[in-house]
Amino acid sequence: MRVLLTGGAGFIGRHVLRELLARGHAVRVLDSLRPDVHANGETAPLDGADLLVADVRDAEAIDRALKGVEAVLHLAAKVGLGVDVSDLPDYASSNDVGAAEILAGMARAKVTHLTLASSMVVYGEGVGHCAEHGAVRPGPRIESELKQGHFEPPCPHCGKPLATALVDEDTAFDPRNAYATSKLAQEYYASNWARVTGGSVAALRYHNVYGPGMPRDTPYAGVASIFTSALKNGEAPRVFEDGRMRRDFVHVRDIAAATVTACEAHRDGVRAFNVGSGTPRTVGDMALALAQALKGPLPIVTGGYRLGDVRHITADSSRLRRELGWQPQVDFADGMKELAGI
């Protein structure tokens, strides 16, 4: 199959590219090499793929990129939380308009299969379980409470503590930052496109991705990369809040396998799939595992916070396993050692 991979020069994109090539697909990469991700607008060679350097908002470039293509994997995006209101236009332009241009181009080229890189951030705080009220959505985080070190969101009905729960794909949306809003918009645009064209969409809601090739010391570095970078500089990783924020850390090779599997196997209608390891861990767990692997200083819990962060978000990825036969392969401990370079 001949596929177009947008964002194929990025962290996740390179792993998806390797997986596509390993499975015998012909790949064309469309990437803008934006300087906030690629220093000096440069990238290492993408062996085995054609590279078209252009922006996903460039309709003419999209038409060139889609010639002869049978399916699109759309990964290109501005990532990160979006910590300032001034970030909003770039997220809306890069992600919302970018996805819309890709979809319009696919309609012109009559390409009917889309695999979309979405994110678990569309769920916000997800769901919690109250002993009295059952499954509930945690309320908005209140800065005055965070300043006092009250990090756990209470039940919005009775104020009692909530137990954490896995989110499935039917969990209501609750985007709480600019990036989350833009990823949700991409899913809606893709659904609009599919309804009109009869195309298929697999929206993969990636959870916390880590692994070799992660960007370091940039606004887009994930927490694992930030911790690793600090430890390799002889510094203790600094963990926000109390370190007990629960996440689902999933290795980038497992993400790549899930993405390519969805491209190959999902060919009917619009379907969302969580992509996670299935084993929740805390951010503190990750920091400690990396510190031990690198024999560096133990993590420091700072009590700091970012209002746009969520407290807990962990995945139920059973739909992906059940319907597409995907299984994560990389053990967390092994993945931490690999990330540490051991």
Q: Mind telling me the catalytic residues?
A: 179
Q: From CA 275, how far away is CA 4, in angstroms rounded?
A: 21
Contact yes or no for 115/266 (Cβ under 8 A) = yes
* CA end-to-end distance (rounded Å), the chain: 36
Contact yes or no for 27/70 (Cβ under 8 A) = no
* Run of H or E including 185: helix 178-197
Cα dihedral across residues 2, 96, 100, 261: positive or negative: positive
Summary count for the chain: helices (H), strands (E): 11, 16
Contact yes or no for 299/284 (Cβ under 8 A) = yes
Contact yes or no for 245/282 (Cβ under 8 A) = yes
Looking up tokens 């996740």 gives: 12
Q: Provide the token pair at 2.
A: 């001949």
Neighbours of 307 (CB within 10 A): 13
Looking up tokens 């991700």 gives: 37
Angle between helices 178-197 and 98-109 (to 10 degrees): 20
Looking up tokens 């350097």 gives: 53
Q: From CA 342, how far away is CA 336, in angstroms rounded?
A: 9
Q: Report CA-CA distances (Å) from 203 to 115, 183, 275, 306.
A: 6, 10, 10, 27
Contact yes or no for 130/136 (Cβ under 8 A) = yes
